[in-house]
Amino acid sequence: EPEVTQTPSHQVTQMGQEVILRCVPISNHLYFYWYRQILGQKVEFLVSFYNNEISEKSEIFDDQFSVERPDGSNFTLKIRSTKLEDSAMYFCASRDLGRDNEQFFGPGTRLTVL
């Protein structure tokens, strides 16, 4: 069964450093999403991406964040200068066209900022 994959599973970085979180969505999916979950809290939407552009972003997704689909298979989230409060689980999700289709989540990347 096709699945969304994410790498790395755990990333540790120093405050101020740049990180890139990688996702490989399911191959025929056209909508892509990033969500984050701070430990013990709810899952929050960051950004959605369709047709090679951002379709919606939350107030969390400020200028420090960017997304890219560099090669038609990967979907990346970059945090330019990490802060302590960026420590969280980051989930990628993808969805096919069609209003009834659900989002499939990847296993997440745990980001720890020291």
Partner 1 sequence: AQTVTQSQPEMSVQEAETVTLSCTYDTSESDYYLFWYKQPPSRQMILVIRQEAYKQQNATENRFSVNFQKAAKSFSLKISDSQLGDAAMYFCAYRVLNEKLTFGTGTRLTIIP
Can you read off the two tokens belonging to residue 112?
């720890």
Nearest to 19 by CA among 87, 77, 88: 77
**Alpha-carbon span 36 to 38, nearest angstrom:** 7
Is the torsion defined by CA of 84, 89, 95, 100 positive or negative?
Answer: negative
**List of residues 6+ apart from 21 with CB closer than 8 A:** 6, 11, 34, 76, 77, 78, 79, 90, 92, 109, 111
Q: Using CB under 8 A, pick the residue from 32, 33, 49, 61 that binds partner 1.
A: 33
CB of 107 to partner 1, least distance (A): 5
CB of 110 to partner 1, least distance (A): 8
> Which of 16/109 has CB closer to partner 1?
109
- Comparing CA positions, the residue from 55, 4, 60 lying closest to residue 27 is 4
- Examine residue 60 and tell whether it contacts partner 1 (CB under 8 A): no
107 touching partner 1, by CB under 8 A: yes
When the beta carbons of 50 and 76 are compared against partner 1, the nearer one is 50
Q: Which of 42, 51, 52, 85 binds partner 1 (CB under 8 A)?
A: 42
> Contact positions toward partner 1, by CB under 8 A?
31, 33, 35, 37, 41-45, 48, 50, 56, 58, 89, 91, 93, 95, 99-100, 102-103, 105, 107-108, 110
